[in-house]
């Protein structure tokens, strides 16, 4: 049995077979792969969670200094929501779980969500 040579698969190239069955030309194609989607972790305002608790959460889980954490907390308090950090999908999901668990354990209604960053 005669085996035909297979055309190599090269990302970003399209093989074009000539009519005569000879050489294969690899056409360069525009790159289609996209960078991974990033997710922002957002804290939501409520009327009951103490400001100090929110500041501590932002310091602890988002590695912010006290001044930055206080500024983010006040923005959430005034605007209703605020971005605490931007992460890969898995890390963002973990942050949401950690913050939600800490809030529940302390008996506060603090809500934390993650959402895709707009391009
Ligand atoms: N609004 C809350 C208060 O006045 C403080 C607060 C800030 C709560 C940010 C949640 O994500 C939050 N005690």
Does the beta carbon of 110 lie inside 6 Å of ligand 1?
A: yes
Does the beta carbon of 54 lie inside 6 Å of ligand 1?
A: yes
Q: Which of 8, 31, 33, 36 is nearest to 92 (CA)?
A: 36
DSSP state of 95: H
Which parts of the chain sit beneath pLDDT 50? 1, 3-4
User: How much is the pLDDT for 27?
Assistant: 81
User: How much is the pLDDT for 7?
Assistant: 65
What CATH code would you report for 38-116?
Answer: 3.30.1390.10
Q: Which helix (H) or strand (E) holds 42?
A: strand 39-44
All structural domains of the chain with their residue ranges: 38-116
Alpha-carbon gap, residue 87 to 110, rounded angstroms: 20
User: How much is the pLDDT for 23?
Assistant: 81
Among 47, 48, 51, 113, residue to substitute to test ligand 1 (most atoms within 8 Å of Cβ): 51
User: How much is the pLDDT for 1?
Assistant: 43
Does the beta carbon of 77 lie inside 6 Å of ligand 1?
A: yes
Count CA within 13 A, CB hemisphere, residue 82.
20
User: How much is the pLDDT for 5?
Assistant: 59
Helix (H/G/I), strand (E/B), else coil: 82: strand
DSSP state of 12: T
User: How much is the pLDDT for 15?
Assistant: 74
User: How much is the pLDDT for 8?
Assistant: 66
The residue nearest atom 12 of ligand 1, judged by CA position, is 45
């Amino acid at each position: 049995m005669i085996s035909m040579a297979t055309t190599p698969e090269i990302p970003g190239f399209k093989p074009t077979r000539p009519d005569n069955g000879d050489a294969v030309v690899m056409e360069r194609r525009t790159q289609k792969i996209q960078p991974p989607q990033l997710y922002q972790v957002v804290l939501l305002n409520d009327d009951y969670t103490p400001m100090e608790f929110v500041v501590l959460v932002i310091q602890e889980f988002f590695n912010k200094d006290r001044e930055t954490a206080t500024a983010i907390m006040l923005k959430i308090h005034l605007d209703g929501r605020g971005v605490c950090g931007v992460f890969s999908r898995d890390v963002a999901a973990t942050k949401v779980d950690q913050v939600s668990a800490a809030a529940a354990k302390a008996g506060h209604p603090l809500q934390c969500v993650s959402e895709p960053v707009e391009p």
